[in-house]
Amino acid sequence: MLMHKVTLKNIILFSIICLLFLKTGWAAEASVAKLKSFLESTRSMSANFSQVVIDEKGMTGQENAGLFLLQRPGKFRWEYQTPYQQTIVSNGKKVWFYDVDLEQVTIKNLNGSIGSTPALLLSGQIDIDQNYLLEDLGDRDGLAWVKLVPKAEESTFKYILIGLGYQGLNTMELNDNFGQLTRIYFSGVKINAAIDSKAFSLEPPPGVDIFEEG
């Protein structure tokens, strides 16, 4: 089903947010302060993830799971392993989207792919208060929650929820302008471990269709 396939734009958006909100722990401080401190912290992350999409009617799609790798600035790899295989890779300049079932690879420029999403935050040097309205939602289910509402009118999403656990990023929720909610849970998180640079490139397999957008 198409609704079970994650969109490239949402994956890039999640990766951008992850590039910002990573840390190995925190002192006793408010959720917003914890989130802001992430801008000064982790440079890389690896984790397992599970993802579920809830449509505008409240119907829950099948759960997807896989491996997530991240390295600032701008490099990430989402490798969906079950129930279907997809790989989305960025080297900081280009993004490869490989759909195994369709035997198809789409290549895009990173900046062109993300459009109105908060690409400027990749540097980690932009004042987050200039780009989002931040709301401290307090603690719930053992996590500290923050709501981010983009100030840009052309944004493709309504808000993002970030759930912070003891080891940092634990849960992310994205509510888009079509009423769809995407929720991602991270586990087995490793912070600042070395990651092979080859993980952030993709060599299209022989025989697949390749579409490159300028």
Question: Structurally, how many domains does the chain consist of?
Answer: 1
Q: What is the CATH number of the domain that holds 20?
A: 2.50.20.10
> Is residue 206 a contact partner of residue 58, using CB atoms and an 8 Å limit?
no
**Which structural domain range is residue 162 located in?**
2-212
CA dihedral (4, 86, 160, 112) in degrees, to 10, reads -120
> How many residues does this entry show for the chain?
214
- For tokens 């390749």, what's the residue? 210
How confident is the prediction along the chain (214 residues), in pLDDT tens digits per residue? 333 455 666 666 666 666 655 443 444 458 887 777 765 677 888 889 999 999 888 888 889 999 988 887 778 888 999 998 999 888 888 889 999 999 999 998 876 555 444 444 433 445 678 778 889 998 888 888 989 888 877 777 788 888 888 777 788 888 888 888 989 898 998 888 999 999 999 988 899 999 987 6
The confidence score (pLDDT) of residue 25 equals 42
Peptide bond into 73 cis (omega under 30): yes
Q: Can you give the pLDDT at residue 112?
A: 52
Q: What are phi and psi of 47, to 5 degrees?
A: -165, 155
pTM for this one? 0.77
Q: Quick check: helix, strand or coil at residue 143?
A: strand
